[in-house]
Amino acid sequence: MFASFDISLLEWIQNHRIESLDGILSLFSAATTYISFGIILAIGIFSRVSRNGLKKMVQMGLVLFLAALLTFALKNTVMRDRPFKAHESIEKLTLGGDASFPSGHTMEAFSVAITVALLFRRRSVQVPAILWAILVAYSRMALGVHYPSDVLGGLLIGIILAIGIDYGFKRLINPP
């Protein structure tokens, strides 16, 4: 039953997307890792490589590395077919690798966005970071390369990863 809901929701998303935005959505998907590294670089530039800035850069780098590692491990364990391979009704509109679960783009975007939100407590930084992650997540479904459950899995794992790393850094830097 869940699988039929998953594909029905994906079909609805793909059939109700604004087709003229496919290029922009594809660009957001393709630029995910570049944006993530850009955020790390921006932290270094704007912090003038202070001790606190260096800590934030290391934390962001660790989050990005672990998101990539988890994505690789989970995709090679679960080995779920991409929706465009399993369902003729889904059109592939961008690049997508072999395995589908979880959405690595979504996991990366949410782990980075939540880390940014935890490190920088200003709404002017938090809101764009979260909106970027939501746009990446939506793009993966609208472009036909991930099921909603792949995106939800990537989102949840990314959030948990960011919060866990932030908690670990706070415990390491400021032990009780």
Which tens digits make up the pLDDT trace of 45-67? Answer: 887 767 788 888 999 999 999 99
Residue 98 pLDDT > 90, yes or no? no
Region of residue 63 (phi > 0: left; psi between -120 and 50: alpha; otherwise: beta): alpha
**pLDDT class of 2 with cuts at 50, 70, 90:** confident
Say which residue the tokens 């988890």 belong to. Answer: 70
The string of DSSP letters for 43-85 reads: HHHHTTT-HHHHHHHHHHHHHHHHHHHHHHHHHHHH-PBPHHH
How confident is the model over 35-49, as pLDDT tens digits? 999 998 888 888 776
Quickly list H helices, the chain.
2-15, 22-30, 32-46, 51-78, 83-86, 104-119, 123-142, 148-173
Which pair of tokens denotes residue 3? 């699988």
Q: Domains of the chain by range and CATH?
A: 22-173 (1.20.144.10)
Say which residue the tokens 């472009």 belong to. Answer: 143
Confidence (pTM): 0.92
Task: Find, among 6, 27, 50, 3, the residue nearest to 135 by Cα.
Answer: 27
Give the percent of the chain with pLDDT over 90. Answer: 71
